Amino acid sequence: KAAEYYKEYQELVPTDTRAEVGLKSCEIHEDFIDNRTTHTVTNLTQLNKDGYDMSPTFVDKKASVIAFASSREGVVGKDKDKITGDLYMDIFVTEIDKKGNWGEPKLADKSGVVNTDQHEGSMCFDGRGKMIFFTRCPNEKKQNLGCEIWTAELKGKDEWTDADKKHLKSNDSVWMSEAGSKGWEAPKKLELKDNDTISVGHPCVSEDGKFLIFASDMPGGVGGRDLWFTSYDRKKDSWTKPQNMGPEINTAGDELFPTFAAN
């Protein structure tokens, strides 16, 4: 059925290479089924709830803490997305115990600093797990505003409030304690675009927090949403003008959710 639609679309828009790619996929799908990988996919029922749970990432090098975006009950805002019908997403964190069980997910921030009544989505952390880069999509009524990338740092211990210190007395790891109800500095928006209607998001940062890959529909790309990169200029205290990662990575379709492998 998909092949029929691809062929029909190819006749209507012969210059769009996505139809050709789609037809090729239809031809070789049986090979995919016959030659499955040896991976086992398991539903993390202790983490998944009603609503959307997406874009998980490890916070620490030990892979003991995961952050992810979710529209589950318990988010900061009460408004619902008109497209999905779900609550606006916030960032949650969960920690694995010594027995290999993941704990009940908690808001990564309850103070309205990182999590707000707007959409907070895919995120990443620097190698220390002390700096977060996250996507925030404003939901201003009657305004066509694109998503933004923000960054925030955990407070130093000398800046902890009594509430933060109380969190440290819990059974959580040091990171989970530091990211308590008031553990984050005020976030800063990365100035990466020159028009409010453009979207930037899905950040992927290097270990030193100075090199960032992200997805955007900004002009000058190869297709719909492309992957772009920028570097932090310490002298100017700003990020360089984004550069497209080029046709070896980007296609006429959408490139989203970039990530770095361990190497």
Assign 3-state DSSP to the chain and report helix, strand, coil percentages, each to 5.
15, 25, 55
Condensed to tens digits (0 to 9), the pLDDT of residues 84-136 reads 889 999 999 999 988 989 999 999 887 788 999 999 999 999 998 889 999 99
* Mean pLDDT value of segment 53-59: 94
- AA identity, residue 180: G
Distances in Å between the Cα of 79 and the Cα atoms of 111, 115, 118, 180, 252 are 18, 14, 8, 24, 34
**What is the per-residue pLDDT for 168?**
46
Structural contact between residues 94 and 102, judged by C-beta atoms closer than 8 angstroms? yes
Query: In sequence order, which residues have a C-beta less than 8 Å from that of residue 60 and are 6 or more positions away?
Result: 129, 175
Condensed to tens digits (0 to 9), the pLDDT of residues 202-216 reads 999 999 999 999 999
Count CB atoms within 10 A of the CB of residue 10: 17
Q: Which two tokens stand for residue 182?
A: 């008031």
Q: Look at residue 39 and tell me whether its pLDDT is greater than 80.
A: yes
Condensed to tens digits (0 to 9), the pLDDT of residues 210-263 reads 999 999 999 999 988 999 999 999 999 999 999 999 999 998 889 999 998 878
What single string gives the DSSP state of each residue in 213-254? EEEE--TT-SSSSEEEEEEEETTTTEEPPPEE--TTT--SS-
* 149 three-state secondary structure: strand
* Mean pLDDT value of segment 190-198: 94
Structural contact between residues 186 and 113, judged by C-beta atoms closer than 8 angstroms? yes
* Mean pLDDT value of segment 52-79: 92
Q: Higher model confidence: residue 175 or residue 212? A: 212
Q: What is the mean pLDDT of the chain?
A: 88
